[in-house]
């Protein structure tokens, strides 16, 4: 992919707050892969010995493997990493996965804690969790009373207007979306007291439902795509996946087969013959997607999902925290043998010839956000040429080929030269 180049334009200056944040990110995201490579202590091996080992293809470099764990979730076609330490390792060392409650980095808990702190700061002092709970409880009671007072006033106004034969004046009744707490010294009238007494049981019931607030639990997990999962397992052996359906850890061969079966349709057990037609197919959606993912990851790009911009993948030079994605990728499967497409039980996206209006639309969307569109053609090997039994192992990936076609939107007013 030598024809795909990344822009070196700086995004913001290197001084002040932006420069400090960039330096901090360089420290946090200093490692591009989950594995850490460190040279041995100088006292362990001499320089001469190290050179001799290098000649024979051996190395004494120490490798630190984090050995993360995840759980396969078939419904979402993903793997969940619930251990917070493992999640931060995979995110900070290569930007693998995304938080299920966040746009990218799993930062839901941090955002919630900061929101509580900002609410406390707006009150003029640093409040404890108990004080925040009491403040919310008092505001809820005050809202109930203000609403009851307004309803009593509206009823009284309507009754007076009816007796006088005129139209009642409009009385604003507080809404939970717009109401703001404020002190009130007005004494309620007899009618208001009666209506307040009617809604007080509702207030007390709400009070009974308010439980003691506990420290905020971090319920977010890191969500890995199946392509990211197999890339981490096959290339780095730094991830272990447990299948809750069988309550066991999957081996490499089992995970390879299971990730393909995730894309099988839900069929009754009686349809074993139909289910067998999905096996040993080179056009399985997992295989086609993984070929494209592995292609760009192996070239050093950080690959993320691109559904937000109507594409399949986004390519980052370093990662989402450093700069925006430079390229948007649309994966287009191409059958080497047209007969395989006719007999295929799968219906892959972008196989049929696309229209020029579709292409122009996607190209315009990505041009507006300063991304270059790439059409990635993944050629599916013919079953008549390659033995279908190869699908049972990653050896079949060597028979796929990838071609990149870079598109740029032509703007006559800007491209006269």
The residues annotated with a catalytic role in the active site are 316, 324, 371
**Segments of 33-95 assigned E as strands:** 36-38, 62-64, 68-73, 78-81
Residue 223 near residue 105 (C-beta atoms within 8 A)? no
CB 76 within 8 A of CB 98: no
Strand partners, 242: 71, 249
User: Residues near 41 by Cβ (< 8 Å), separated by ≥ 6?
Assistant: none
Say if residues 113 and 134 touch (Cβ distance below 8 Å). Answer: no
Helix (H) / strand (E) element for 376: namely strand 372-380
DSSP per-residue string spanning 44-72? TS-HHHHHHHHHTT----EEE---EEEEE
Q: Where does residue 309 rank: exposed (0-12), middle (13-18), buried (19+ CB within 10 A)?
A: middle
Nearest alpha carbon to residue 89 among 37, 33, 39, 38: 33
Per the CB < 8 A criterion, the answer to whether 82 and 241 are in contact is no
H helix runs in 56-166, sequence order = 84-92, 108-122, 129-164
In sequence order, the 6+-apart residues with CB closer than 8 A to the CB of 295 are: 1, 376, 402
Chain-centre distance for alpha carbon 234: 22
> At 373, phi and psi to the nearest 5?
-85, 135
Tokens 């061969």 identify what position?
Answer: 253
SS (H, E, C) 273-319: HHHHCCCCCCCCHHHHHHHHHHHHHHCCCEEEECHHHCCCEEEECCC
Distance separating alpha carbons of residues 301 and 370, to the nearest angstrom: 17
Tell me how far apart the alpha carbons of residues 186 and 165 are, in angstroms, rounded to a whole number: 29
CA pair distance 186, 175, nearest whole angstrom:
20
The encoded tokens of residue 116 equal: 């509580």
């Amino acid at each position: 992919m030598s024809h795909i180049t990344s822009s070196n334009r700086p995004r913001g200056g290197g001084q002040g707050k932006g420069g400090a944040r960039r330096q901090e990110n360089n420290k946090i995201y200093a490692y591009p892969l989950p594995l850490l490579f460190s040279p041995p202590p100088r006292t362990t091996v001499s320089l001469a010995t190290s050179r001799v080992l290098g000649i024979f293809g051996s190395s004494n470099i120490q490798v630190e493997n984090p050995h993360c764990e995840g759980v396969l979730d078939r419904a979402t076609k993903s793997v969940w990493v619930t251990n917070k330490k493992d999640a931060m390792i995979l995110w900070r060392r290569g930007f693998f996965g995304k938080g299920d409650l966040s746009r990218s980095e799993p930062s839901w808990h941090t955002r919630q804690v900061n929101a509580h702190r900002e609410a406390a700061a707006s009150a003029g002092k640093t409040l404890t969790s108990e004080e925040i709970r009491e403040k919310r409880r008092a505001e809820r009671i005050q809202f109930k009373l203000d609403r009851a007072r307004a309803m009593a006033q509206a009823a009284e106004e309507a009754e007076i207007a009816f007796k006088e034969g005129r139209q009642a004046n409009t009385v604003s009744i507080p809404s939970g979306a717009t109401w703001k707490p404020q002190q009130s010294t007005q004494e309620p009238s007899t009618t208001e007291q009666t209506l307040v007494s009617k809604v007080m049981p509702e207030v007390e019931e709400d009070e009974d439902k308010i439980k003691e607030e506990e420290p905020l639990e971090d319920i977010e997990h890191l969500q890995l795509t199946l392509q990211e999962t197999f890339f981490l397992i096959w290339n780095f052996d730094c991830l272990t996946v447990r299948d809750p359906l069988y309550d066991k850890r999957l081996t490499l061969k089992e995970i390879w087969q299971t990730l393909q079966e995730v894309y099988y349709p839900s069929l009754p057990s009686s349809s074993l013959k139909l289910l067998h037609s999905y096996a040993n197919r080179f056009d399985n959606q997992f295989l086609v997607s993984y070929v494209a993912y592995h292609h760009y990851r192996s070239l050093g790009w950080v690959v993320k999902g691109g559904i937000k911009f109507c594409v399949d993948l986004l390519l980052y030079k370093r990662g989402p925290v450093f700069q925006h994605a430079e390229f948007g990728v649309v994966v287009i499967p191409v059958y080497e043998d047209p007969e395989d497409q006719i007999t295929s039980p799968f219906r892959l996206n972008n196989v049929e010839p696309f229209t020029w209006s579709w292409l122009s639309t996607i190209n315009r969307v990505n041009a507006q956000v300063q991304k270059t569109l790439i059409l990635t053609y993944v050629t599916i090997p013919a079953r008549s040429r390659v033995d279908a039994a190869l699908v049972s192992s990653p050896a079949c990936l060597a028979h796929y080929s990838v071609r990149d076609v870079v598109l740029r939107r032509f703007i006559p007013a800007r491209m006269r030269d």
